[in-house]
């Protein structure tokens, strides 16, 4: 049954006259005609529902008790919104991070790791860069999918001091040392590190010759490049610390690499020969010095011996002279006997006895007897 049919029997909304109706019947809040009045055309029920909903909404907005309900709901809604807005200021700083808080877009403070709070946006904002993670920038090559690498010759080809071209690939390892400077002093830190590293390496290579760069001077090149990169970044106030510069490759260009390898091999052979010669020198020179010291010591010992013998002979002669002055005859006899003793001790001796009787051989080989005695005592 349509809504307008209920007007005849006092339907759910009751009867009444239309607001635009000039009749004298009773009006109802929904604007339906009074009982017994003229009916609305069929199909006007939707208009009645819309009007009823508008009336209910108007009651909640402005009328009596509805005003209290609306105010409470608005207060609760405002509290919830305000609480949610306040909770957006909670943030967490990991162990490897540092928190940087901005207030109205300007740096305010740095916070350590842990659960932290700042005033919600748009009053304050927070950033949490990783300050302990070692980051890497490659110059002269780039990593491709599958674990390989690809040359970037505009970055890798450099000119040395002796006007040779060298192909250098290297990596720079860096960390954040100052989170504030890192965030606000440099727009693109990774590109800045790469540009500064390439410029510094070109300067270092330009101050060195080719042969040390590709052979024994790599560590010097790495250290000089690291120091120069760090100095430049400190001047920028980048808040970055360079941990290491590592040469991945330092070779001549491919067209002349074979010739340079021959040069390097020759240099290595020369260095090997120098090392062998040095080892031989270190072995021969001490031996020669030892032999010289031994000869000097033997000469000194011989000199001491000769001098001592001469002094002894002189002293003996003086002693004999004193004895001779006291007893010349006895001294001459003793000297004669001592001389014979010395002479006979070095010669073979045979004694012949002219007074030997018959049947006795007047012959005594003293030297053979002495030799037999020595052999007998040795056995």
pLDDT tier, 116 (very low <50, low <70, confident <90, very high otherwise): confident
- Mean pLDDT to the nearest integer, 165-183: 90
The percentage of residues in the chain with a pLDDT greater than 70, rounded to a whole number, is 73
Judge whether 101 and 81 are in contact, CB under 8 Å.
no
**Which domains, ranges and CATH numbers included, belong to the chain?**
3-63 (no CATH), 90-127 (no CATH), 135-252 (3.30.479.30), 350-379 (no CATH)
Q: How do residues 239-295 score in pLDDT, each as one tens digit?
A: 999 999 999 888 887 777 777 778 778 888 998 999 999 999 999 999 999 999 999
pLDDT at 18 over 60: no
Q: How do residues 211-247 score in pLDDT, each as one tens digit?
A: 888 878 889 999 999 999 999 999 999 899 999 999 9
- Mean pLDDT to the nearest integer, 334-359: 72
Dihedral sign, Cα of residue 132, residue 138, residue 143, residue 149: negative
Dihedral sign, Cα of residue 91, residue 93, residue 94, residue 98: positive
d(CA 74, CA 159): 74
For 13, the 3-state DSSP assignment is coil
pLDDT at 3 over 50: no
CA nearest 35: which of 21, 19, 53, 16?
A: 16
Predicted pLDDT of residue 30: 39
pLDDT tier, 172 (very low <50, low <70, confident <90, very high otherwise): very high
Tell me how crowded residue 200 is: count the other CB atoms within 10 A of its CB: 23
pLDDT at 138 over 70: yes
Q: How do residues 60-98 score in pLDDT, each as one tens digit?
A: 455 444 455 577 888 888 888 888 888 887 877 777 777
pLDDT at 169 over 60: yes
Of 99-113, 153-167, 351-365, which gets the smallest average pLDDT? 351-365
d(CA 205, CA 166): 9
Predicted pLDDT of residue 84: 84
Residues facing 176 on adjacent strands: 240
pLDDT at 23 over 90: no
Predicted pLDDT of residue 328: 83
pLDDT at 100 over 80: yes
| Cut 0.85: pTM above it | no
For residues 71 and 120, which has the higher predicted lDDT (pLDDT)? Answer: 120
Predicted pLDDT of residue 374: 61
Of 38-52, 162-176, 186-200, 223-237, which gets the smallest average pLDDT? 38-52
Beta-carbon contacts of residue 152 (< 8 Å; ≥ 6 apart):
139, 140, 141, 142
Predicted pLDDT of residue 178: 87
The percentage of residues in the chain with a pLDDT greater than 90, rounded to a whole number, is 26
């Amino acid at each position: 049954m349509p809504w307008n049919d209920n007007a005849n029997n006092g339907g759910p909304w009751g009867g009444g006259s239309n607001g635009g109706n000039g009749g004298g019947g009773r009006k109802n809040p929904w604007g339906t005609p009074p009982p017994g009045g003229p009916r609305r055309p069929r199909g006007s029920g939707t208009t009645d529902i819309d009007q009823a909903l508008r009336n209910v909404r108007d009651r909640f907005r402005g009328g009596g008790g509805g005003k209290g309900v609306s105010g409470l709901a608005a207060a609760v809604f405002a509290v919830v919104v305000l609480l949610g807005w306040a909770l957006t200021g909670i943030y967490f700083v990991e162990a490897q991070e540092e928190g940087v808080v901005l207030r109205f877009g300007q740096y305010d403070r740095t916070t350590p790791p842990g659960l932290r709070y700042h005033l919600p946006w748009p009053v304050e904002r927070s950033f949490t860069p990783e300050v302990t993670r070692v980051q890497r920038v490659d110059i002269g090559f780039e990593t491709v999918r599958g674990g390989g690498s690809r040359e970037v010759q505009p970055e890798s080809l450099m000119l040395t001091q002796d006007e040779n071209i060298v192909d250098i690939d290297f990596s720079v390892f860096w960390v954040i040392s100052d989170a504030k400077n890192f965030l606000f002093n440099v727009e693109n830190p990774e590109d800045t590190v790469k540009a500064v590293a390439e410029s510094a390496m070109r300067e270092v290579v330009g101050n060195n010759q080719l042969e040390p760069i590709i052979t024994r001077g790599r560590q010097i090149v790495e250290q000089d490049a690291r120091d120069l990169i760090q100095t430049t970044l400190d001047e920028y106030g980048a808040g970055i610390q360079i941990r290491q510069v590592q040469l991945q490759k330092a070779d001549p260009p491919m067209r002349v690499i074979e010739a340079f390898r021959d040069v390097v091999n020759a240099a290595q052979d020369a260095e090997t020969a120098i090392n062998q010669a040095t080892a031989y020198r270190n072995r021969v020179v001490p031996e020669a010095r030892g032999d010289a010291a031994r000869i000097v010591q033997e000469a000194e010992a011989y000199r001491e011996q000769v001098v001592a013998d001469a002094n002894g002979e002189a002293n003996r002669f003086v002693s004999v002279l004193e004895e001779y002055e006291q007893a010349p005859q006895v001294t001459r006899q003793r000297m004669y006997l001592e001389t014979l003793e010395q002479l006979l001790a070095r010669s073979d001796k045979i004694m012949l006895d002219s007074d030997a009787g018959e049947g006795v051989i007047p012959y005594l080989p003293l030297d053979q007897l002495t030799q037999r005695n020595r052999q007998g005592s040795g056995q």
